[in-house]
A and B are shown apart, each in its own frame.
Chain A
Amino acid sequence: MTAHFKPESISLDQLKIGARASIASIDWDALEESEACRLKHFGFDEGVVVEPLHLGPFGRDPLAIRVGRMTVAIRRSHARAVRVNIPA
Chain B
Amino acid sequence: MTPLPLVAVAGSPNAGKSALFNALTGARQKVGNYPGVTVERHSGRLTLADGRPVELVDLPGAYSLDPASPDEAVTRDVLLGKQKGERAPDALVIVVDASNLDNHLRFALQLIELGLPTIVALNMVDLAKRDGLQLDPKRLEAELGVPVIETVAVRKRGISDLQAALDDMISAPRCGVHEHAPSDLIPLQRRARDIAKAAVVSESPVRRWTHRLDGVLLHPIVGPAILAAVLFVMFQAVFAWSEVPVSWIESGIALIAQGAADVLPHGLLRSLIVDGVIGGVGAVVVFLPQILILFFFILLLEASGYMVRAAFLMDKLMHGAGLSGRAFIPLLSSFACAVPGIMATRTIDNPKDRLTTILVAPLMTCSARLPVYTLIIAAFIPDRTVGLGVGLQGLVMFGLYVTGVGGALLAALTLRRTVTKGGGGAFMMELPKYQMPQLKDVVIGLYQRALIFLKRAGTIILGTTILLWALASFPQAKPGENQIEASIAGKISSGIEVLVKPIGFNRDISLALLPAMAAREVAVSAIGTVHSIDAGDDQSANVALEDRLRGRWSLATALAFLAWFVFAPQCISTIAVTRRETNGWKWPAFMVGYLFALAYIAAGATYWTAVALGL
- B-contacting residues of A (Cβ < 8 Å)? 32, 34-35, 37-43, 45, 53-59, 61-62, 64, 68-75, 78
Contact = CB atoms under 8 A, between A and B. Distances in A.
Given A64-B218, A69-B102, A73-B427, 16 more contacts: A32-B424, A34-B68, A43-B193, A54-B214, A56-B312, A56-B315, A61-B315, A68-B100, A69-B99, A70-B430, A70-B431, A72-B430, A72-B431, A73-B311, A73-B312, A75-B315
A78 B426 contact: yes
A35 B189 contact: no
Tell me the interface secondary structure of chain B in the complex: helix
Given A35-B428, A73-B428, A40 B185 contact: yes
B431 A43 contact: no
A39 B220 CA distance: 25
Contact of A72 (B67, B316, B428): B428
A69 B200 CA distance: 13
Contacts of A34: 68-69, 424, 426
Interface in B262-296: none
A51 B190 CA distance: 19
B426 A58 contact: no
A41 B67 CA distance: 10
Interface string B239-252: 00000000000000
Given A73-B429, A75-B426, A53 B214 contact: yes
Contacts of B220: 55-57
A58 B424 CA distance: 21
A57 B186 CA distance: 33
Contacts of B315: 56, 61-62, 73, 75
Interface string B60-86: 000110111100000000000000000
Contacts of A78: 426, 428
Contacts of B358: none
B151 to A, nearest CB: 19
Contacts of A55: 220
B102 A41 contact: no
Given A58-B316, A70-B100, A75 B427 contact: yes
Contacts of A41: 63-64, 68, 103, 106, 185
B223 interface: yes
> Which 7 pairs between the two chains have the least Cβ-Cβ distance?
A41-B63, A58-B316, A57-B220, A54-B218, A71-B431, A40-B185, A37-B68
A68 B325 CA distance: 24
Contacts of A71: 210-211, 214, 430-431
Interface centre among A43, A68, A78 (most CB of B within 10 A): A43
Contact of B189 (A45, A61, A62, A69): A45
Given A38-B63, A38-B68, A68-B193, A56 B316 contact: yes
Interface centre among B190, B193, B317, B431 (most CB of A within 10 A): B431
A38 B319 CA distance: 19
B428 A39 contact: yes
A62 B314 CA distance: 9
A43 B63 CA distance: 10
B103 A43 contact: yes
A45 to B, nearest CB: 6
Interface residues of B, number: 42
A62 B426 contact: no
B461 interface: no
A74 B428 contact: yes
Interface centre among A41, A55, A72 (most CB of B within 10 A): A41
B601 to A, nearest CB: 32
B373 to A, nearest CB: 31
A75 B185 CA distance: 22
Contact of B428 (A38, A53, A54): A38
Contact of A68 (B69, B103, B313, B319): B103
B431 A45 contact: no
A67 to B, nearest CB: 9
Given A37-B66, A45-B186, A45-B190, A70 B426 contact: no
B429 A72 contact: yes
A2 B332 CA distance: 42
A15 B569 CA distance: 47
Nearest to B211: A53
Nearest to B429: A73
Interface in B200-235: 210-211, 214-215, 218, 220-221, 223-224
B308 interface: yes
Interface string B426-458: 111111000000000000000000000000000
A64 B311 CA distance: 12
Contact of A64 (B66, B102, B193, B312): B312
Nearest to A65: B431
Nearest to B66: A37
Nearest to B215: A54
A66 B211 CA distance: 10
A42 B430 contact: yes
Given A34-B68, A74-B428, A57 B100 contact: no
A84 B106 CA distance: 23
Contacts of B429: 72-73
A54 B214 CA distance: 8
A38 B63 CA distance: 8
Contacts of A39: 428
